[in-house]
Amino acid sequence: MKTRKLGNNNLEVSAVGLGCMGMSFGYGPAADKNDMIKLIRNAVEQGVTFFDTAEVYGPYDNEELLGEALAPFGDKVVLATKFGFKHGANGPTTADGLDSRPEHIKKAVEGSLKRLKLDTIDLYYQHRLDPNVPIEEVAGAIKDLIHEGKVKNFGMCEVGAEAIRKAHAVQPLAAIQSEYSLWWREPEQTILPTLEELGIGFVPFSPLGKGFLTGKIDAKTSFDKTDIRSTLPRFSQDAIENNQKMVDLVSRIAASKDATPAQIALAWVLAQKPWIVPIPGTTKLHRLEENIGGANVELTDSELREIEQTASKIQIQGDRYTATQQKTVNR
């Protein structure tokens, strides 16, 4: 597995990481814990060193899963988790609202350290920007945690360029995490140029379009009510039928390179910048192996031009979030 560096702190990770949310949360019923432990450990054996979770996934279940699965590997792996939601009676949920007050962050980190079985969190993200707390105060709290040795690197998720600059001025950021793929390219407008200027890494989640770019979803696909895609406008029947044009594009390139559509979609993301590290998620071993293989697919300049020229003519249908969900990612 090739490696890449995130940020100027030289945080080195595998070129493709593993997003673990779907193992416990968000994409239907939680997968079998023992099966997921085996999957995570298999990923390590195949060279994956970068794993992503959050306290809200479950809540707590996903952090506990990673803590158990990765305990044998010590500092051979890099673990990223997130804070930023209120803690209700059953733990943090997105419905509880946001809370990035410094006192909350310093309480949340203790729980994450315990569940992850760590003394230090490699990369600690603010999960969503909290409009009620100045970002300078959030960055200051993380700076304190870094000085205390409880956190190594600071990150933020789904934020705009202004917030990035303000936070970075207080505590340098190692990485920004946002959705990015062939069918969601909004970060190219202001986020990627800002990160390049400041020397901050980029970690795209859903680099496979929440599974759509694998070519395994069509208008007949039905989603469990606990699967977030069941509510997303982009996964309505009409939108899926329209957006199939993007799958046709990656499938055509894949056929010419003896690769899969998923591998082409990942190779495209990796080709955009050397400091981009996608974190596709899966609960299946064969998909894990397929995604890892995407790191070894290199697109030629002519193939990248073909993808760009064709993709620019495809009008993606459907918002990526509902109006309520979109409120937490407004930049």
Catalytic residues: 57
Three-state secondary-structure class, residue 243: helix
The span from the CA of 207 to the CA of 185, in Å, is 10
Q: What are residue 211's phi and psi, to 5 degrees? A: 95, -15
Pairing of strands 18-19, 91-92: unpaired
Q: Is the peptide bond before 59 cis (omega within 30 degrees of 0)?
A: yes
Record the tokens describing residue 103, joined without a space.
């006192």
Q: From the CB of residue 299, how many other CB atoms can be counted at a distance below 10 Å?
A: 18
Are 174 and 181 in contact by the 8 Å Cβ rule? The answer is no
The span from the CA of 266 to the CA of 158, in Å, is 20
Spell out the alpha helix ranges (H) of the chain: 33-45, 61-70, 102-116, 135-147, 161-170, 187-198, 237-256, 261-272, 285-293, 301-311, 323-326
Record the tokens describing residue 167, joined without a space.
């936070």
